[in-house]
Amino acid sequence: MQVAALFRPVPKRAYVRSKSLMKAYRMIPCQNCGIADGTVCGAHSNWAVHGKGKSVKADDNRAASLCFTCHSQLDQGNGMAEPVKQRMWWRAHVLTVRLLVMECLWPADVPVPPVLEYPKEW
């Protein structure tokens, strides 16, 4: 048997990228603390299941509208355990997706991710 027959090429992942969605994240208040101070942006997921990799951001449709302070706590929060960070981001992500869809701010050409339930491991 040839060595090449033992290995199958893995197709590259098609990432979701959308400038219009990234702009929409800025149009609503922080979905963690509620502030609308001009620093709100799309805080991408840090989970590999959402496309996060070494020096690669997760899909654009897997982000949460967070202010600078909350985003910083999430990414550099030394005092927060990883499960706490994950729950904080997930809650804000679910609220973000629901609000953008409800306010008709979600771009029609971007798939809406399923956000009905917490991840099964919780």
pLDDT at 96: 98
Q: What single DSSP character describes residue 48?
A: G
pLDDT at 107: 98
Residue pair 31/65 in contact by the 8 Å Cβ criterion: yes
Q: Which residues sit opposite 66 in a β-bridge? A: 41
Provide the whole-model pTM.
0.85
**Tokens linked to 53:** 């990799």
pLDDT at 86: 92
Mean pLDDT by 10 residues, the chain (122 residues): 67 88 98 98 92 90 97 89 93 97 98 74 53
What is the 3-class SS of the chain, one letter each residue?
CCHHHHCCCCCCCCCCCCHHHHHHHCCCCCCCCCCCCCCCEEEECCCHHHCCECCECCCCCCEEEECHHHHHHHHHCCCCCHHHHHHHHHHHHHHHHHHHHHCCCCCCCCCCCCCCCCCCCC
pLDDT at 14: 86
Residue with tokens 């050409």, as numbered in its chain: 109
